[in-house]
Amino acid sequence: MKQRPIFIFSIAVLCLLTAYVLRNLIYEIIIVPFAYLWWVLGLYYRFLPQVAIWVLLIAVILFTAIRGLLMEIPVGKRMLVKKKKSEGPVEALSLLVQKSKQGNYYKWLIANRLGKSARELLDQREARGIKQKFTRLKGRGWNPPKDVEAYLESGVNGSFADYPQRTWAGSPSTPLDLNPQKVIEYLESEMENNRNGHR
């Protein structure tokens, strides 16, 4: 704390020394041009009649006031501003399905959403809060087909970067290549079993 006043004092002394050394330069570059500008403005002020100055001042005030009023009035296109329609979860998922042909990233996003749905289903079945993240999907009565299990695990515990983009027809397939319809049908059957109390 004691060093702070010393630091401020040393900065002030340094500024004063710099100003003293550069006083001629500051005088020629800043003070003389501003003094000349002030003198020229004074000449114009004395040269123009007072009526012209008042008319100019009133015109500027009226222009500013009218412009401000016009900005507040909604005109034409301003009233027809379209708000972006918010998309629901089903619409967002259908867009992802359409984009899934563009690469593994969109396939993984679909797998991630379906994997989260599977985790919610298992948490409801076990009557626990949705706390388990980045753990394997397991629980009472959970026995999906191997390809469905690999797909869901890739979505919740993997990344799209784990599976390189397929560049040719002979590239090995990945769990993300599974048709999401098969996964959805399995999850629907599990939800139906939950609802009917078979588990």
pLDDT digits (tens, 9 = 90+) for 149-172: 888 888 888 877 777 666 555 566
**Whole-angstrom Cα distance, residue 60 to residue 54?**
10
What pLDDT, on the 0 to 100 scale, is given for residue 193?
A: 75
**Whole-angstrom Cα distance, residue 149 to residue 141?**
13
What pLDDT, on the 0 to 100 scale, is given for residue 199?
A: 46
Instruction: Tell me the torsion sign for CA atoms 143, 144, 145, 149.
Output: negative
Domain positions in the chain: 10-78, 89-196
DSSP secondary structure string, 141-163? T----HHHHHHHHHHHH--GGGS
What pLDDT, on the 0 to 100 scale, is given for residue 88?
A: 59
